[in-house]
Amino acid sequence: MESIGVLMPIPMNSYLEGELEKRFNLFKLWTVPHKAQFLKENADSVRAVIGNSSSGADADLIDALPKLEIVASFSVGIDKVDLKKCKEKGIRVTNTPDVLTEDVADLAIGLMLAVLRRLCESDRFVRSGKWKMGDYKLTTKFTGKTVGIIGLGRIGQAIATRAEAFNCPISYHSRSQKADVKHKYYPTVVELAANCDILVVACPLTEETRHIINREVIDALGPKGVLINIGRGPHVDESELVSALVEGRLGGAGLDVYQNEPEVPEELFGLENVVLLPHVGSATVETRTAMADLVIGNLEAHFLKKPLLTPVV
């Protein structure tokens, strides 16, 4: 398979790069000075594109690569891939479900604890020497809080399982009520937000879910409510979130993702009720290795004409 051209537009993971280089002719687009020129010259050689949460395959890239057969995403979310165009052109799409579920769910619980118990702020309190001047103030209990989950899929379910161990009642919203689930279902996000203490976004980013967290939802969650976003930045109307936090209309937020990553609204930097992470939901050595192996497995299956391991399209 050494002659098969695989395009990686941005650096993603050194293990993945190494494994791709062992098997394919890997084009690392970020190392090339004149990208448009390079793409033009090598368009006929590229049969696969590697995507992730910040770089996928839009209509322009797909049109520029006439021999493209497969987009293998190094992520479970495929919001950066033009799925409609891929379907039209018969281009296969794969992602990395399941292997990252536990890490993302762990991180969601970590964010809940960090926001309610002010873990980051109290760490800064110790480091700055302020403890010598008096004790840190009281915070908010996590155990027993009602957790509302938007998108009770693989990750949403794993968050629910973990939150249940903290005696948190679970409720959820998704497009349809799950038959085999005992948690309380709300047909709208506003109703879910009005009836939970902590609202977690864990659904895929689609046209339907863009700004699923808007002013009305934030107001329903209220000044004691906490928003956790481990989905995608555009799920949240960020300017509404920032003003609600600055004005104290929302109790707190734990964010792993943002609308224009790596840009993060600076108004949030001074708020102690906000925990900001740099999109690290699946970022452990173990999980990124498993995700890379799945990308490789899908590419090998495709080029050996075997069934794909985790097909989306």
Interface with ligand NAP includes 297 (CB under 6 A)?
Answer: no
240 has catalytic annotation: no
Please state, in angstroms and rounded to a whole number, the distance separating the CA atoms of residues 285 and 150. Answer: 28
Question: How, if at all, do strands 252-255 and 274-276 pair?
Answer: parallel
Interface with ligand NAP includes 151 (CB under 6 A)?
Answer: yes
Q: Which residues contact 115 (CB under 8 A, 6 or more apart)?
A: 226, 228, 252, 253, 254, 273, 274, 275
* Rounded least distance, CB 287 to ligand NAP, Å: 9
Please state, in angstroms and rounded to a whole number, the distance separating the CA atoms of residues 59 and 199. Answer: 34
Interface with ligand NAP includes 311 (CB under 6 A)?
Answer: no
Please state, in angstroms and rounded to a whole number, the distance separating the CA atoms of residues 70 and 50. Answer: 9
Please state, in angstroms and rounded to a whole number, the distance separating the CA atoms of residues 12 and 18. Answer: 11
Residues 214-243 contacting ligand NAP, CB under 6 A:
230-232
Interface with ligand NAP includes 156 (CB under 6 A)?
Answer: yes
Interface with ligand NAP includes 109 (CB under 6 A)?
Answer: no
Interface with ligand NAP includes 251 (CB under 6 A)?
Answer: no
121 has catalytic annotation: no
Interface with ligand NAP includes 180 (CB under 6 A)?
Answer: no
* Rounded least distance, CB 33 to ligand NAP, Å: 31
From 105, 96, 57, 137, select the one nearest 293 (Cα to Cα): 96
Judge contact between 218 and 190, C-beta under 8 A: no
Residue of minimal CB distance from ligand NAP? 153
Among 279, 284, 297, 313, binds ligand NAP (CB under 6 A): 279
Q: Which residues are catalytic?
A: 232, 261, 279
Residues at the contact surface with ligand NAP, assessed by CB under 6 A: 76-77, 97, 100, 104, 150-156, 173-176, 202-205, 208-209, 230-232, 256-257, 279, 281-282
